[in-house]
């Protein structure tokens, strides 16, 4: 029996630089990962089989077309695996939930059989952020997000609160609504740089188009900013937003405050890996 956490992905910064002729966008992003997320187990079986449960399992319309099943098909892993997916992360939420699930499958296959040399290409075919989710460590992503540079993070262990208004925001429409204006490069990671500096000086260029599509994102950000974080920002294309705190005590107070004020919102508390 193999077990793995599909770590929630957040974009500490996400700069959209231009639309590409192939329909994708040129990005500069700072990926970070939370120490919690979906949970997967796998056991040997005659054929591949996927079962799903958990709060958001009902949002997976076609379990056999799920990215977990596609990840299994993308890798040699023996006769078959029976995979159980506890879907704890909301869907279409800016947390890379499906990509994180695929990344967890890749790590389980790595532990059981090793990964093929071209695993990055296989992962990228499943989604632009899947290679980052396989690593699940802080890294800078460029190109479409598949060109990765792991970086040492001075934010490891930072308390983080994730909040989602339980409204799905599909990625495609948000990127399509981006105004096409290049607002400049992400701060560089050099001798005087740090992950904390990039996060604080960076931005998420998809916040405005996401808010235009889902105005509740602005309410989530406003609520998080009342809890005294040192950074509150939307992740990915939304609608999940995150807040980073200097202490565990601040995190717990913030989580309790929002749970009282907005019990209808989903939240997850953890630490950055």
Which residue of the set 9, 87, 101, 205 is catalytic?
9
Which residue of the set 36, 101, 129, 205 is catalytic?
129
Active site residue 179: no
Residue pointed to by tokens 């006769």: 79
Active site residue 70: no
Enumerate the active-site residues: 9, 129
């Amino acid at each position: 029996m193999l077990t793995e956490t599909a770590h929630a992905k957040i974009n500490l910064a996400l700069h959209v630089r231009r639309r590409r002729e192939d329909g994708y966008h040129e990005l500069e992003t700072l990926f970070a990962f939370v120490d919690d997320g979906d949970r997967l187990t796998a056991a040997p079986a005659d054929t591949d089989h996927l079962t799903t449960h958990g709060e958001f399992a009902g949002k997976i319309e076609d379990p056999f077309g799920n990215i977990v099943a596609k990840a299994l098909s993308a890798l040699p892993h023996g006769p078959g695996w029976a995979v159980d997916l506890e879907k704890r992360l909301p869907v279409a939420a800016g947390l890379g939930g499906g990509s994180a699930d695929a990344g967890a499958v890749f790590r389980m296959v790595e532990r059981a059989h090793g990964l093929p040399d071209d695993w990055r290409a296989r992962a990228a075919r499943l989604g632009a952020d899947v290679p980052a989710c396989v690593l699940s460590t802080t890294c800078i992503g460029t190109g479409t997000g598949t060109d990765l540079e792991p970086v040492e993070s001075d934010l490891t262990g930072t308390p983080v609160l994730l909040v989602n208004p339980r409204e799905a925001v599909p990625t495609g429409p948000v990127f399509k609504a981006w105004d096409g204006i290049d607002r400049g490069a992400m701060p560089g990671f050099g001798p005087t740089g740090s992950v904390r500096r990039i996060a604080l000086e960076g931005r998420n260029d998809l916040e405005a188009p996401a808010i235009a599509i889902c105005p509740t994102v602005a309410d989530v950000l406003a609520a998080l900013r009342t809890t005294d974080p040192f950074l509150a920002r939307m992740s990915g294309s939304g609608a999940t937003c995150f807040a980073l705190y200097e202490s565990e005590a601040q995190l717990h107070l913030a989580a309790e405050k929002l749970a009282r004020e907005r019990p209808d919102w989903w939240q997850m508390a953890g630490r950055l890996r």
